Chains A and B, each alone.
Chain A
Amino acid sequence: MNRRIAIVGIGNTDFNSMTPDVSWKELMFEACQKAYIDAGVDPRKDVDSFITCAEDFYEGFSIFDEFVPDQIGATLRPCCTVCGDGIYGLGNAFMQIKTGQMDVVSVEAHSKISDLLTFGDVVLHAYDPLFEKPVSGPVERQNYVGSPSYPKEKPKPIVGSSNEKNRIHPYFLAGLEMQHYLKKTGTTEEQCAQVVVKNKKNAFNTPYADYEANISVEDVMNSEYLFKPVKRLDISPNVDGCIAFVLADEKTAKKLDVEPIWLKGFGWCSETPWLSTRKMNADYAKMASDMAYKMAGITNPKKEINIAEVDDRFSYKELQHLEALGLADSGKAGKLLEDGELDISGSLPTNTSGGSLGVGNCFEATGLQKSLEIVTQLRGHAGKKQLSDVDIGIAQSWRGIPSGSGAVAIFGR
């Protein structure tokens, strides 16, 4: 089935540090409703398949996919959950449509991370329990059912407890990786700080962003080291929010009252989970982009890509990813930034949405947030920050600490 596949609908909520006014289901309903209205489709009749992207432990549920269908219009319909970032969802939607079984597929990803009271500990669970996680601190002997002390001893309260036995925050790995990146490439902490300044400034023109700010390199440099060389302002703050996309095959897309934006290529890649043998050079992004470029017929990404939204959940990641994607030479992304080439007026506008540093870290929705900006720019709907002459854009996401995996999507008009 050689059918082209288009993004025909986009919808998103505002992004906020907390969203106590709505439940996570209502948050999803809002974004999906907007996406369906944008595409002009009725999910109960016109959408053939529904994909959500979520991670059980972030959600607070087991078997998250069971909690999905009602708020996205998918009850009694083909529906599945990808345990990963939203760009993996786009790739799966693409493949479903390619089969010819489906013509219209929706993809949803969200963050309701403010509901999670033990965020740091949940992320620590992503480290190898035997060889990696113990470095974060004492692993309390738990009073599990069947243990000799059960049920004589009451489980200890964990939330909010503060003592010297507390575990180290899992983001320490970013400190190790940033040190590696800086030393290997000669990039400076100031250049990373400049990423923060740029992205938070860009976010002023993104209505849904939550962490826009007018700050200086000095402000970032003066923020405290949390995981040296990572400083407080180098880290994207957590936000809640939801994004939904509607995809359709070419024939269906052309019947809808919307300018189709083509999903021209995508790729994904996982490095070894073992920190013991991982190289920490964002090879996952390189491999994923090689796959996506090949599919999209892109042979010279530096020349052909007009706009990039890359994962910037830590400031250095933006520069590291640009190099891994072949959009900057190794060690030269910082120079491009200093020369203004990554600005909205530059030759490679990067994270014009404000990125995760300006919008906030929306977890599995990160890839869709990047994609949302690219699609909005390609539609010509980006408002003040609208670029001229933009035909091809790349969106890239990483699964976050402590992973070495990620995905890439390429969109075109």
Chain B
Amino acid sequence: MTFLEKQTDPTSPMHWRGNMQADYLYLSGVAGDKFFKHLMKNDTFLATKCPECNKVFFPPRLYCEDCFCEIPEEKWFEVPSKGSIKLFTIATIDSYGKKLKEPKVIGLINIDQTDGSLLGVIKTDKPDEELQGVHVEAVLKPKDKREGTLKDILYFKKK
């Protein structure tokens, strides 16, 4: 050790308690803008299909990550706000490590007719049940309450 004497009382060192004020606008981008505007007025989702490899992106993107090509206007289409649970977990602690009031089931849901998945909270009475492969549908906010963010999807539930 470089220093001959060390502090042993963790509360004794002088310190300054600071924070980083770091607020941003996260813009939805061209693809996100179209997706969320559609979601405000409809109970379906939008997806895009790569003209070269036919991979269907959900959430929709303007370019294909495999082919690095643009996805044109005519490759946008509507898909149901439904899917099947690919993976799920039961989270029990919050971001400070404290116990959540009640455990939350989080699923990675493969959206029907697409090659993409979405993280979603899954409402279920039996959190311990096997959910892999289970078909679920999105429960959306009433149309007049939607804001054009992912919060318009309240949760997913079994059909």
Contacts and interface: CB of A to CB of B under 8 A. Distances in A.
Given A20-B10, A60-B18, A142-B23, A135 B119 contact: yes
Given A183-B132, A224-B92, A275-B119, A134 B149 contact: yes
A130 B97 CA distance: 24
B149 A228 contact: no
Nearest to A170: B95
Given A20-B7, A144-B23, A164-B101, A118 B149 contact: no
Contacts of B7: 20-21
B115 A176 contact: no
A121 B19 CA distance: 13
Interface string B40-72: 000000000000000101110000010000000
Chain A interface category by residue count = 35 or more
Which of B118, B132, B150, B151 has the most chain A CB within a 10 Å cutoff?
B150
B121 interface: yes
A316 to B, nearest CB: 13
A166 B106 contact: no
A120 B94 contact: yes
Q: Say what secondary structure dominates the interface of chain B.
A: loop
A297 interface: no
A330 interface: no
A134 B39 CA distance: 16
Contacts of A228: 89-90
Contacts of A130: 26, 28, 32, 149-150
Contacts of A226: 91-93
A230 B59 CA distance: 27
Chain B interface category by residue count = 35 or more
Contacts of A276: 57-59, 116-118
B13 to A, nearest CB: 5
Contacts of B6: 21
Contacts, number: 138
Interface string B1-31: 1110011101111000011100110101000
A175 B89 contact: yes
Nearest to B15: A20
A175 B131 CA distance: 14
A29 B94 contact: no
A139 B94 contact: no
Interface of B: 1-3, 6-8, 10-13, 18-20, 23-24, 26, 28, 32, 55, 57-59, 65, 87-98, 100-101, 104, 106, 108, 115-121, 132, 149-151
25 contacts: A18-B10, A20-B10, A21-B6, A30-B3, A33-B2, A118-B96, A119-B95, A130-B28, A130-B150, A131-B32, A131-B119, A134-B150, A142-B23, A164-B100, A164-B101, A166-B94, A167-B94, A168-B91, A169-B94, A169-B97, A180-B87, A228-B89, A275-B117, A276-B117, A277-B57
Interface of A: 18, 20-22, 26, 29-30, 33, 57, 60, 62, 118-121, 123-124, 129-132, 134-137, 139, 142, 144-145, 159-160, 162, 164, 166-170, 172, 175-177, 179-180, 183, 224-230, 272, 274-277, 280
